[in-house]
């Protein structure tokens, strides 16, 4: 039996003993009535001989340790910043984590380093739903304040499609455009190109991926789209 893809709407029954739910916010993507499982969100059901895979297309980002995220500073405190990570929970970035040294709020202000509206790239270091997620800037030279390029936002559920299997989609986008692209699993993407016009073209390509995430052959179509746009720029 060849793989079959079925569009799923909220309320559709997801029957079968070998059902697998993928994507962000998987705990919110289904509900049960008795012993039956139903879709709570629009999605795609991939049916094979071995199992059924339900991939929700509309869901929320729930942080977990190890996630790379792109956040926006929404409040400057005395010893930490409050960061919007596009989740039900704001995150915390401490002064010591950002500065990588001891910090004395009596002698200096955090607003010298980050202010409301600034973007930062980091990693979720801890989160247990009983306290705010904490962000670390250790682990990559890309982590820290974003000072150039642009940040766009898409639905978090589309992020796996932007990355692609074995990073096929994101690698293609960078190779074709010559841009550096950092993908946050929380639905935000940093695009940094030498030419702002190319950043706009890459934005269009990513929006195309978001809109057509449920379709097959997408990588080749996006590659053709990028080449056409770049050749005419």
CATH number at residue 186: 3.30.1370.10
Looking at the fold, whether 223 and 209 belong to one and the same domain comes out as yes
Looking at the fold, whether 124 and 173 belong to one and the same domain comes out as no
| Rounded CA separation 207/168 (Å) | 17
- Which residue range forms the structural domain that includes residue 157? 150-231
Looking at the fold, whether 77 and 44 belong to one and the same domain comes out as no
Q: What would the pLDDT profile of 160-187 be if each residue is shown by its tens digit?
A: 999 998 999 999 999 999 999 999 999 9
CATH number at residue 141: 2.40.50.140
pLDDT at 129: 66
pLDDT at 111: 96
Looking at the fold, whether 30 and 74 belong to one and the same domain comes out as no
| Rounded CA separation 168/121 (Å) | 22
| Rounded CA separation 50/76 (Å) | 51
pLDDT at 136: 97
Counting residues of the chain whose pLDDT is more than 70, the rounded percentage is 95
Answer whether residue 47 shows pLDDT above 50: yes
Q: What would the pLDDT profile of 23-34 be if each residue is shown by its tens digit?
A: 655 566 788 888
| Rounded CA separation 22/148 (Å) | 33
Answer whether residue 98 shows pLDDT above 70: yes
| Rounded CA separation 72/143 (Å) | 13
Q: How many structural domains compose the chain?
A: 3
Instruction: Give the pTM.
Output: 0.78
Residue 61 maps to a domain: no
Looking at the fold, whether 141 and 157 belong to one and the same domain comes out as no
Looking at the fold, whether 51 and 85 belong to one and the same domain comes out as no
């Amino acid at each position: 039996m060849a793989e079959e893809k079925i569009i799923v709407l909220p309320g559709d029954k997801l029957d079968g003993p070998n059902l697998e739910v993928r994507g962000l916010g998987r705990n919110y993507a289904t509900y049960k009535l008795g012993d039956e499982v139903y879709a709570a969100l629009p999605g795609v059901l991939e049916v094979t001989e071995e199992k059924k895979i339900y991939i929700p297309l509309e869901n929320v980002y729930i942080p977990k340790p190890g996630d790379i995220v792109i956040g926006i500073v929404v409040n400057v405190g005395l010893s930490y910043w409050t960061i919007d990570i596009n989740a039900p929970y704001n995150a915390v970035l401490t002064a010591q984590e950002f500065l990588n040294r001891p910090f004395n709020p009596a002698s200096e202000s955090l607003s010298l380093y980050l202010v409301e509206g600034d973007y930062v790239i980091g990693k979720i270091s801890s989160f247990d739903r009983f306290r705010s997620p904490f962000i670390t800037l250790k682990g990559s030279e890309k982590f820290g304040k974003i000072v150039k390029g642009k940040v766009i936002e898409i639905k978090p559920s589309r992020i796996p499609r932007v990355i692609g299997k074995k990073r096929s989609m994101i690698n293609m986008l960078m190779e074709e455009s010559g841009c550096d692209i950092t993908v946050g699993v929380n639905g935000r993407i940093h695009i940094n190109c030498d030419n702002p016009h190319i950043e706009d073209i890459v934005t269009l390509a990513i929006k195309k991926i978001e809109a057509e995430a449920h379709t097959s052959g997408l990588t080749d179509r996006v590659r053709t789209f990028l080449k056409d746009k770049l050749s005419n720029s």
